[in-house]
């Protein structure tokens, strides 16, 4: 089990589904293996070396105990890992829920496998399905999705001076719409604010890209090399933004609370973040089911089974933040 952390560390440069990570053919791994092999060894030494006999604590955490510590501002470096489930109440489907998830709704594209619509090689050969999908998911449209209670709660953490960072797997931009400072964000899977060529990386105005994809339903063409352009969201097989690699080690080392919200923990390397925080860092999962290494709940772990919004409502009720949550939520509207 201890080697799992080392293995995940080797994949930090590319986005890969867990199910296909080991057998992935992506060439992006090679350049980063040596550096992250060394980093992962250091992590293993820290986690399982001199502190290997350190007790996690006899008393188990509870939702109420964490809420009280939040209310009393006992946390100073909260790290949030946010997935698609945090945006479901905004009308944005998650990816894997049977029947309603985005991957189920993509069946009419006759994809070879659901994740292909976010696969760089597939986009290179078959760009139309993603272009059509952009009609649905492009953020900032008039009357489009607005931040949820989960986003408002993260804004409270920032206002209270407790938020260190949000690592969001989402590309909907709702964290920014909630007023959270971009310095507090790591958009692990990119965003729709810029666009570039998938071959030569030349940039295209995002307004021009949007016009081609959303208004004309055409594939944007690079003026430099003639290849395809897409928004700078991270497809499978592409490297994560450098900001992820620059911040994740210090953030997970410093975290005094990890909050995981609405994610299946199915995509590496972001799925590994819960295993990277220190062994005495409490971890709170707000999700419809246990996932990742929360499948075996430890004494430091708290699991709230249900929707993210229901989870933050309960936390705020226990912390005495109910009116504060409502105020922040209305500010986001």
Write out the catalytic residue numbers. Answer: 189
Q: Which of 262, 234, 268, 265 is nearest to 20 (CA)?
A: 268
CA 224 to chain centre: 32
Number of Cβ within 10 Å of residue 279's Cβ equals 15
Number of Cβ within 10 Å of residue 107's Cβ equals 9
Number of Cβ within 10 Å of residue 215's Cβ equals 9
Q: Which residues contact 179 (CB under 8 A, 6 or more apart)?
A: 155, 331, 332
Q: Is 316 annotated as a binding residue?
A: no
Q: Is 225 annotated as a binding residue?
A: yes
Contact 98, 104 (CB under 8 A): yes
Q: Which residue has the tokens 């944005």?
A: 92
Q: Is 222 annotated as a binding residue?
A: yes
Buried b (16+ CB within 10 A) or exposed e, 225-263: eeebbbbbbbbbbbbbbeebbeebeebbeebbbbbbbbb
Binding site for Zn(2+), residues?
A: 197, 200, 222, 225
Binding site, residues?
A: 197, 200, 222, 225
């Amino acid at each position: 089990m201890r080697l799992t952390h080392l293995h995940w560390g080797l994949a930090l440069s590319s986005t890969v589904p867990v199910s296909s990570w080991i057998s992935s053919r992506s060439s992006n791994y090679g350049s980063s293996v040596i550096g992250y092999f060394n980093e992962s060894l250091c992590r293993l030494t820290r986690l399982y070396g001199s502190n290997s006999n350190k007790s996690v604590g006899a008393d188990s955490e509870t939702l109420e105990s964490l809420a009280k510590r939040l209310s009393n501002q006992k946390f100073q470096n909260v790290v949030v890992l946010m997935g698609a489930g945090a945006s479901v109440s905004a009308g944005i489907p998650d990816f894997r829920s049977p029947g309603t998830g985005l991957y189920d709704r993509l069946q009419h594209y006759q994809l070879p496998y659901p994740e292909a619509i976010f696969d760089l090689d597939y986009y290179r050969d078959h760009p139309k399905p993603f272009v059509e999908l952009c009609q649905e998911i492009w953020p900032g449209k008039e009357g489009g999705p607005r931040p949820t209670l989960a986003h408002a709660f993260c804004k409270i953490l920032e206002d209270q001076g407790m938020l260190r960072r949000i690592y969001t797997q989402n590309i909907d931009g709702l964290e920014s719409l909630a007023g959270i400072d971009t310095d507090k964000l790591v958009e692990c899977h990119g965003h729709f604010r810029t666009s570039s060529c998938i071959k030569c990386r030349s940039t295209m105005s995002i307004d021009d890209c949007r016009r081609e994809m959303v208004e004309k339903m055409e594939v944007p063409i690079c003026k430099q090399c003639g290849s395809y352009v897409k928004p700078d969201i991270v497809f499978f097989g592409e490297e994560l933004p450098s900001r992820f690699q620059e911040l994740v080690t210090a953030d997970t080392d410093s975290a005094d609370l990890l909050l995981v919200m609405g994610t299946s923990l199915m995509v590496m390397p972001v799925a590994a973040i819960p295993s990277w925080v220190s062994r005495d860092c409490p971890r709170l999962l707000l999700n419809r089911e246990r996932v990742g290494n929360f499948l075996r709940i430890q004494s430091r772990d708290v699991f709230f089974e249900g929707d993210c919004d229901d989870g933050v409502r309960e936390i705020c009720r226990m912390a005495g933040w109910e009116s504060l949550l409502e105020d922040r939520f209305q500010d986001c509207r």
